[in-house]
Amino acid sequence: MRFRSRPTVDEAPPPPNTLLGVGSSFRGTLMVTGTLRIEGEFEGDILNCDRLEIGEHGLMRSDIEVKSAVIYGRVNGNIRALGVLEMKAGSRVEGDVSAASVVMEPGVHFTGRCTMLESGPEAAVIQDFDRVREYARD
C-alpha cells in the first residue's frame, strides 16, 4: 500500500523584479515582464505584467489587466485579473473588478462591481499584446 505525501504549503511568489518605491511618482506607460510592485504613486498603463502588487503606501490611478494582483494600498480604476485578485485588509479599491477568483479580507474598502470570469486564466485571451502593438505603432 502506498500513501501519497501531503501537498506542501504553497510557495511564496517570487520577489518583484520591478519596484516603484515609496515617495516616487510615475505617470506614463510601463512595460513589465514578471512582477511589478508599486509603493509610490502611479498613473498610466501597465503592459504585459504577470503579477501586480500594490503596497501599503501605493496609490494607483489606472485601469489594469494582469494575470494576478495583490492589493494592500489604494487603487482608483478598474482591475481585471485573469487569475486571482487579492484585496488585503486596509486596502481601498474604487472601481469595477473582474477575476477568475477574488479574495477579499475583512477591512477592505471596496466601491464598485465585482464580476467573476467563467473561463479562468487558461482560456482567457490576454489583450495586453494588442495594447503593446498599438503602443509600438505610436
Q: How would you write the pLDDT of the chain (138 residues) with one tens digit per residue? A: 555 555 555 667 778 888 999 999 999 988 888 999 999 999 998 888 899 999 999 999 999 899 999 999 999 999 999 999 999 999 999 999 999 999 999 999 999 999 998 764 444 444 444 444 454 555
- What is the pLDDT at residue 118? 77
Quick one: cell of 133?
A: 502593438
- C-alpha 132/C-alpha 125 separation (Å) is 14
- What is the pLDDT at residue 138? 56
Residues 6+ apart with CB under 8 A from 103: 84, 85, 86, 87
- What is the pLDDT at residue 119? 61
Quick one: cell of 22?
A: 515609496
User: What are the residue boundaries of the structural domains of the chain, listed by start?
Assistant: 18-137
Strands (DSSP E) found in the chain: 18-20, 25-31, 35-38, 41-47, 51-54, 59-61, 64-66, 68-71, 74-76, 79-87, 92-94, 97-104, 109-111, 114-116
Helix (H, G, I), strand (E, B) or coil at 120: helix
pTM exceeding 0.85: no
